[in-house]
Structure 1
């Protein structure tokens, strides 16, 4: 089953102080692990609508290992090591997982 993981993120004031070109460059470098190895990434801005999270990343992964390895790589990027973003929550899920369960356990 393909996993969908929601990362609830917070941007730091240091990130917001960077110019938009520099932010774009750092994001492109930092998010490379999520555009390979059977992963996909979608980004959602939330700061205008939510006080606890500034951003939500939706990651789809073919395997838990692919997701895990991408997170390990992300932790080595400036997005995390320089404190530009912190992970405030992680919600792993399976889209319509109950249907897969019901199909596997049909009577």
Structure 2
């Protein structure tokens, strides 16, 4: 399923995505939108970029980055913040982004038959 955006919204988000991608060293042209509700989520290999705006976006992004760093530090098996991206969250105008390591979908695993026995 794809998310349909108006041309104006798509242009605004793509502008912020381009700025964020330049900072983290990935090509924004190869990025694909996978979700847009309260946030815009793009796969920009080898990362996933989450963009958000609004009065609480920066506070939430700082909190998420802090929690993710703590979970990594204690070895918790979770999705990691993007390796090599030294400063997060990433700001672009009034938008804020976080960058994550891309993890392939587990759907094939979830649809596999349970072993017999």
- Bucket of the pairwise TM-score, normalised by the shorter protein: 0.3 to 0.5
| The structure with more helix, counted as a fraction of residues | 1
| The structure with more strand, counted as a fraction of residues | 1
Larger RCO of the pair (alpha carbons < 8 Å, separation 6+): 1
- TM-score, structure 2 normalization: 0.31
- TM-score, structure 1 normalization: 0.33
